[in-house]
Structure 1
């Protein structure tokens, strides 16, 4: 689980005459791969200030049910910290790997209790093979099934939940925040994790400071309620950011791996919206552009979109773009379809009376 220099494939892995290489030259000519230090300085300052102000408000409000409003605010702030750690992992912010890893661990491990090294490894593999049933870790059938083949082979919890998984998807997202914390802690047992001791110290420090603040400022009952509201909404927010990007898009299997451009474009989906959507989704609403150019600064993704869309139209490559609500509908519809073998009779007709 060694941390890699970048998350995702390199920006130009193809030969000079390839479809992606021609697109890359257009993007480079538009200056969209240049860094944005001013933007990220302002964004880091804004997120840091929001983080400090939210915890200050928590202390000042103290023993009151109004503190749950701070829990809601902190769920959003934690999500913004996660999005910033995501950009850092993709080397959008810092040029050097060491600086990226240090900031990523501070933001991820210390700031929100997410194991940065574990997440980076997982996200790297996702970027290399998005929506590939065997190679994308985001399609592991550990709780939900993502294809009908997975449904047929499902046992235990995936089989139990598979019948109604479309209905359960958003309720299950309330557990995603807890899952990030647990997965980060479990990754410390992996000897291949880079800087395992440092990651562990930061994770333990976050947990101690977080729980200490809750139970020092609030009585036990309110502290537990605050924790549940905060962590559950944090999980829903993160899941709502990432769900529209690939769920409901074509799933690849086996040796089905087209060239780089098609592998990224055909499995990803953009979400329409304005500046507010860009902030709330952290630029990941331009998922196609992000997967093609993972180190592109997030404010440039909007500018890259018409170039990428036009290039795909020239090639006859399907470019999927939809609204946010429609993307959630597509996600839920794909989950419902994937669970069909568990829900109903076997797809293969069982032999009946009079059949041979």
Structure 2
């Protein structure tokens, strides 16, 4: 099957699809690695609201995609940055998303993002403002028996004056949590407003503060996810975590080797890239759980160039690539996003995603993907 694709200068060249859709297989939650996909939301394209207004969500398509992930055996990290939290999805929309997922997919493994995003950082004056904002979201999620991912706070990054302020706030906030949570350390490449999180620009200093937070409230911490796109930093911290506290990789560049691990340990996973890579992730994990490490790497290693492209700088716009692949693969009928985010990447980005997704078997219906790629090219005048 052929399609004419433009190169970066707009010249059309023939591309012949070569990929075979990847096998699908689910894996058991009893395996010694816990794997979450941070899931995207599907916008309602028929809303009368402007893209800059409150989110309008196609709930049927959004829930159907979550059932797809759960059927693969993947956990769902709900209402996180992949769902455009803070970039189109506000706290009100996030809470409705959390409530619907709990109600409609009650048997799925789901942890939910609790943060302070209903508090405008400009309106945060004190640490108590941050505490109250976290408390409000924690209470709302626990009211529906939801498990919590404690998201990094833009407001805390603004008002904290020292690393000790982070320790004090997290101690108080974790005391409100009924069950152990996943801490979320999101690097500023994902959210520039989080620069200097943990009270310093130094990784070593930030790690010490995060470790101090965990040490003070270890019984309340299931694990920590770090998204710094630096595998050695993750490994260094992983080796210093207390026994029983998990490291969840958020490294969308180096996930195969971090999940595989080494003689000193391995990472669990909480990854935005496991939204578009869901079938590959589940099949790879089924291989790993069967003891086939080579098979695990044979499935996931070829997906890394695609992941690095989707998450290229400016990294916070990776959601555009995630939703583009969901559209190509028929999980939604359109390529419209909250906040108009489908416009945040250039055409060569989409054409290269198409090529790489084909080459690693991630176009589950090549005929549909080709038809949709052609329709997008028409929009661009190709």
Task: State TM-score, norm by structure 1.
Answer: 0.30
Which is bigger in relative contact order (C-alpha 8 A, separation at least 6)?
A: 1
Higher strand residue share: 2
Task: State TM-score, norm by structure 2.
Answer: 0.29
- Please say which structure displays the higher CA radius of gyration: 1
Higher helix residue share: 1
